[in-house]
Structure 1
Amino acid sequence: MSAPLICPSILASDFARLGEEVAALESAGADWVHVDVMDGHFVPNLTIGPDVVKALRPHTRLPFDVHLMVAPVDPWLEAYRNAGADVLSVHPESGPHLHRTLGRIRELGARAGVVLNPGTSVGILDEVIDLVDLVLIMSVNPGFGGQKFIPASLDKIARVRQRLDAAGSKATLQVDGGVTADNAADCVAAGADALVAGTAVFRGGPSTYADNIAALKGH
């Protein structure tokens, strides 16, 4: 079992020092930078616009993994891609035509992700699996950081892993929500390749980031 990719969510970072924070993540051994975009409509919070992503882009060489919790989502794809997003992940509920949205993300040259909320069926993947580069399992209901991991998510990770393997898909299987060093190994054992973590990475300040990331990797 290989170590997972660690994708710290800057939602939990010091917003007054965002440029320094993403640079510190790269130095600490993070694999991707996870950017939670919330519109105050699709989810009950308001966060990071494309101009902020663009401003952060020169501060790190790490891939920007942008999770779009906005509706309608299609009008924002190009703006975030132009700002520097490498991965764009969308919710099936955030637009009328998931297949078209994923195709558009790929046309823009980004990796296309599908996000499954706790109440979203894994069966939706069967219709779009050939367009999916990443599947993100939400192990909390989206909208806020600091929530508790939903234990039933482990079974969902395993079911998605089975679907991806059966289809011969090379898509990354990512988990987001309440991920800590205590449950990271369980997520990986269930089939996850990548872990999004906020508080578990950023607690303690920059001097602790390397140790926190290593703990999530199982080192």
Structure 2
Amino acid sequence: MHSIAASIMCGDQLNLGQELRKLEEAAVDLLHCDVMDGSFVNNLAMGPYVLEQIKERTSIPLDIHLATEQPSKYIDMFAPLQPKYISFHVEVCEQIEKDIEKIKGYGIEPVLAVNPESPIEMIKPYLSMVPMLLIMTVNPGFAGQRFNHHVLEKLVVLSKLIETMENKPLIEVDGNINVTTVPALIDRGANVFVLGTSALFNHQKGTYEQKVNEIRELFEKRRI
């Protein structure tokens, strides 16, 4: 089964209430929320007060992506919002198992995130501990970057690693996800697709519902 997460950071920040209504009409499955600390990535985004108001105004489950150093600190900061998922980057975490358990202790599902250049071996020891993995197809920090095609090879390796697992973690992909890149990602095992500027929050014709349905049609074609 395939799901769509809308990257709310790419939406109109002065009209978030309107954006949330349109995303609900489009029936997206998750609201992907990028938290950036200006250190792990060279950008700042989405503090707890903003996400608290978003949480109050939508029924779409939150998928919080911590693009931060010191993940443990930010887990404690955002856990009170009770999102469905919190992801953190293995590249900066010195206590991965401990932070996985911390997230679970809050009743939230933990997700491990890796950058395009990071090897799959970094998450291999933890595959059975998490329900989902976030594979970045661009470097986190800014929208509109070019898709890293070499990540497709990583997805092939990852899919082979989890194919024999009883409880297979979902594979979420984020970064220039659109009608051009989705088919190859589906074929390599991706399940959850984060839509941002290139597929959803752009000035191309069509409503959010129409754009989301265009991606869902690709899901259906891949099932045939």
TM range (shorter): over 0.9
TM-score, with normalisation over the residues of structure 2? Answer: 0.91
Measure, in 1, the Cα distance between the counterparts of 2:186 and 2:82.
Answer: 28
Structure 1 residue runs of 4 or more that deviate by more than 4 Å after TM superposition: none
- The within-5 A match list for 1:18-167 is 18-167=16-165
In structure 2, runs of 5+ residues without a counterpart are 219-224
Q: Is the 8 A contact 1:5 1:194 kept in 2?
A: yes
Measure, in 2, the Cα distance between the counterparts of 1:212 and 1:151.
Answer: 23
1:90 partner SS: strand
Q: Is the 8 A contact 2:82 2:108 kept in 1?
A: no
Measure, in 2, the Cα distance between the counterparts of 1:205 and 1:8.
Answer: 16
1:208 Cα deviation from its structure 2 partner: 1.4
Residues 134 and 84 from structure 1, CA distance in 2 versus in 1: closer, same or farther, beyond 3 angstroms?
A: same
Measure, in 1, the Cα distance between the counterparts of 2:127 and 2:192.
Answer: 18
Measure, in 2, the Cα distance between the counterparts of 1:119 and 1:207.
Answer: 34
Measure, in 2, the Cα distance between the counterparts of 1:22 and 1:161.
Answer: 33
Letter in 1 for 2:81: A
Counterpart position of 2:176: 178
1:62 Cα deviation from its structure 2 partner: 1.3
Q: Deviations over 1:152-207 (max 9, x none)?
A: 11121122122122233331101000111111111111100010110111123896
2:86 partner SS: strand
Measure, in 1, the Cα distance between the counterparts of 2:213 and 2:39.
Answer: 35
Q: Deviations over 1:121-150 (max 9, x none)?
A: 111222112221110111011111111111
1:211 Cα deviation from its structure 2 partner: 1.1
1:185 partner SS: helix
2:14 partner SS: helix
TM-score, with normalisation over the residues of structure 1? Answer: 0.93
Letter in 1 for 2:5: C
1:78 Cα deviation from its structure 2 partner: 2.3
Counterpart position of 1:196: 194
Q: Is the 8 A contact 1:81 1:108 kept in 2?
A: yes
Q: Is the 8 A contact 1:181 1:218 kept in 2?
A: no
1:19 Cα deviation from its structure 2 partner: 2.3
Measure, in 1, the Cα distance between the counterparts of 2:51 and 2:207.
Answer: 24
1:100 Cα deviation from its structure 2 partner: 0.8
Counterpart position of 1:212: 211
Q: How many residues align?
A: 217
2:194 partner SS: strand
Counterpart position of 2:221: none
1:112 partner SS: strand
C-alpha RMSD of matched pairs (Å): 1.6
Q: Is the 8 A contact 2:91 2:114 kept in 1?
A: no
1:93 Cα deviation from its structure 2 partner: 1.9
Q: Is the 8 A contact 1:68 1:91 kept in 2?
A: yes
Measure, in 1, the Cα distance between the counterparts of 2:76 and 2:17.
Answer: 23
Measure, in 2, the Cα distance between the counterparts of 1:64 and 1:93.
Answer: 23
